[in-house]
Amino acid sequence: MAYNITLIPGDGIGPEVIKAARIVLEASGVKINWEIVEAGEEVIQKFGTPLPNYVIDSIKKNKVALKGPITTPIGTGFRSVNVELRQTLDLYANVRPVKSYKGVPSRYSDIDLVIVRENTEDLYAGIEHKIGEDAAESIKIITRKASERIARFAFKLAKREERKKVTVVHKANIMKYTDGLFLECVRKVSQEYPEIVFEEMIVDAMSMKLVQVPNNYDVLVMPNLYGDILSDLAAGLVGGLGVVPGANIGDKEAIFEPVHGSAPKALEANTANPTAAILSGVMMLKYLGESKAADRVEKAVVKVLEEGKYLTRDLGGNNGTVEYAKAVIDAME
């Protein structure tokens, strides 16, 4: 069986890291037919938008996409390609596993948690406006439907991956209606999963705890803005965004992508670290039900990182993107 998958190379370092992920995934033994579509800065002049309709159509048709980072143009009317994709396709769950890897310089060595972020509302709903010349207002939207849906996603993920605890992150002590509703919904859903430990944590306290004792946490579920911030904080605990994969998942479609940015003009050719892109591909394989292939790729990445012979510059080595990807392929068993 071959899978039809949309491939979005992205901007900046996107095409390089996605190419590396592509050749690694193809070497895993899983047959994939890639439908390559372009989005981002490079297509604005041609289509008048960084997100042409045919990209959305491709994802709807294939149901699964592997995507590189895309630069959001500054000073234009288009807010964000990522936000538009999430809202248009109702990709309500943003999933970011954060894991320690031997060979990656970091302050910790035993972190293994997953941040589950509600992806479609909160302050990222984009409802904001100016009030005269000296004030602006942004409206925070929290609904029962979206809150229960993301809570159930988090508990199902915990059960499926045999994780023991789900922590809801909120600020309901101050935002009693919005975050209060979110907290109420997660509490309600938690009762359906008595085998999973459930706890509550105010977002500022969670920020401190993630720095102090990150290995105390397993699955964290939270509204959109907190998830955006804390997932980057958590990435800093394991070596940075270069080793953290991500996924945006809905009931019908899913997009897998590294969580780092496009780094336009920041790097020379063939120097970008493709670890996050490859691990995003691992998440994609698991989503497709190709668990054995996913395990082969992840173990190969772990082996290459531990051995330290073919690392990119940001990881302390002097090898290129392509050399790293080839080392991962050679390490597959």
The yes-or-no answer on residue 171 being catalytic is: yes
Domain annotation covers residue 99: no
Q: Are residues 118 and 186 in the same domain?
A: yes
User: What are the pLDDT digits (tens) for 1-27?
Assistant: 899 999 999 988 999 999 999 999 999
pLDDT of 79 > 70? The answer is: no
Among the candidates 177, 212, 237, a domain finishes at: 237
Same domain, 6 and 88: yes
pLDDT number for residue 124: 87
For residue 325, is pLDDT > 60? Answer: yes
Residues 84 and 123 in one domain: no
Residue 35 burial (C-beta neighbours within 10 Å; 0-12, 13-18, 19+): middle
Task: Looking at the structure, tell me whether residues 70 and 131 fall in a common domain.
Answer: no
Q: Indicate whether 101 belongs to any domain.
A: no
Q: In terms of domains, do 230 and 252 share one? A: no
State the DSSP H helix or E strand holding residue 303, giving kind and residue range, or none if neither: helix 291-307
Whether residue 24 is found in the same domain as residue 79: yes
> What does the radius of gyration of the chain's CA atoms come to, in whole angstroms?
20
Task: Name the least confident of 146-150, 191-195, 261-265.
Answer: 261-265
Count of domains for the chain? 2
7 bridge partner residues = 36, 66
Q: Is 101 a catalytic residue?
A: no
For residue 42 the two structure tokens come to 């490079």
Q: Which residue has the tokens 């045919």?
A: 54
> Which domain covers residue 168, as residue numbers?
107-237
* Judgement on whether residues 14 and 82 belong to the same structural domain of the protein: yes
Per-residue pLDDT at 270: 83
Residues 87 and 122 in one domain: no
- Could you tell me if 13 and 124 lie in one domain? no
Question: Which pair of tokens denotes residue 177?
Answer: 């209606």
| Across 196-206, average pLDDT | 98
> Of the residues 228, 286, 310, 326, which is catalytic?
228
Please report whether residue 11 resides in a domain: yes
Kindly indicate the confidence band of residue 78, based on its pLDDT and cuts at 50, 70 and 90: low
Give pTM, 2 decimals.
0.93
Contacts by 313-317 with C-beta closer than 8 Å and gap 24+?
A: 313/271, 313/273, 314/240, 314/242, 314/273, 315/103, 315/104, 315/105, 315/239, 315/242, 315/273, 315/275, 316/105
Q: Could you read off the pLDDT of 307-322 as tens digits, one per residue?
A: 999 999 888 899 999 9
Choosing from 124, 226, 310, 324, the catalytic residue is: 124
Task: Clarify whether 204 is annotated catalytic.
Answer: yes
Both 21 and 86 in one domain: the answer is: yes
End position of a domain, from candidates 178, 212, 237: 237
| Residue 48, phi-psi category: left (phi > 0), alpha (psi -120 to 50), beta (remainder) | left
Q: Both 114 and 195 in a single domain?
A: yes
Give 299's pLDDT tier (boundaries 50, 70, 90): very high
316 CB burial (10 A radius; 0-12, 13-18, 19+):
exposed
The residue from 57, 204, 251, 330 that is catalytic is 204
> Do 85 and 21 lie in a common domain?
yes
Catalytic residue among 19, 67, 99, 171: 171
Q: Does residue 111 lie in a domain region?
A: yes
Of the candidates 237, 255, 274, which is a domain's last residue?
237
Whichever domain contains 77, its CATH number is: 3.40.718.10
Task: Determine the Cα–Cα distance for residues 244 and 257; give it in Å rounded to an integer.
Answer: 10
Q: What angle do CA 220, 222, 223 make, to 5 degrees?
A: 160
Q: Is the pLDDT of residue 163 over 70?
A: yes
Share of the chain above pLDDT 90, in %: 82
